[in-house]
Amino acid sequence: MTESATAANNQAESPCYSFEEFRMMYDSTELISERKIAFNRNNASLCLLVIAGQGAAASWLYKEKGLALLGPVALITISILAIIFCLYWNGQLWAFKELNSAKFQVLEEMAGRVAFPDYRARSIISMNPFMREYQILTENKKIVTGAKGLLLQRSNFAETIVPKSFIAFFTAVMFLSIAWLLMNFGILGKA
């Protein structure tokens, strides 16, 4: 018997994974990708609205003499909240990426042994793809135990440029507002 015939015979005898299970896993991977894109779009739009709101508030509050102190305080407060929001956004992006990576690894493991609906020569077993996905995330130390025993996904550096840029912008606005306060009401203004 030739090597290729032996390999084909061994493959024919080994159990296969269900095409429906493979398709379910693929669909869930696509869903995560679509959710991540929508999440990015919504969060970027929200941050742009916050920037526009900060500009409008600053324009109005800095002009009003009686509200001169309120302008920078409002900008600092909004900036701190926006930075916290962007840090959350950044962490969520990393979680989406790691989850999708694990899903694609499971799909790759399944791909060679998928039995299509009209194929009856081999027995079909479940790969338990979502359990395997969890194992991959755990092995790669992408899941850690957080507060109250919750399982959390660790992140990587990819796709976080936009939220980090917003963090830098809001940090700059905050420090410029603090500097303005110090120059006009604090020790820098008395020099």
Residue 21 lies in a domain: yes
Count of the separate structural domains present in the chain? 1
Smallest CA-to-CA distance from 45 within 175, 162, 168 is with: 162
Tell me the backbone φ, ψ of residue 157, rounded to 5 degrees: -85, -15
Q: Is residue 39 part of a domain?
A: yes
pTM for the full predicted model: 0.63
74 within some domain: yes
Residues in the chain: 191
In a domain, 1, yes or no: no
Q: Are 72 and 8 within 8 A, CB to CB?
A: no
Per-residue tens of pLDDT for the chain, all 191 residues:
444 444 444 445 567 777 788 888 888 888 888 888 889 889 999 999 999 999 888 888 777 777 777 888 888 999 999 999 999 998 888 888 778 777 777 777 777 777 777 666 556 666 666 677 777 777 766 655 544 444 444 444 546 778 888 999 999 999 988 888 888 776 655 54
Residue 113 lies in a domain: yes
Residue 61 lies in a domain: yes
Q: Is residue 83 part of a domain?
A: yes
Domain of 19, in residue numbers: 15-184
Residues in Cβ contact with 126 at an 8 Å cutoff, skipping those fewer than 6 apart: 17, 18, 21
Whole-angstrom distance, CA of residue 59 vs CA of residue 53: 10
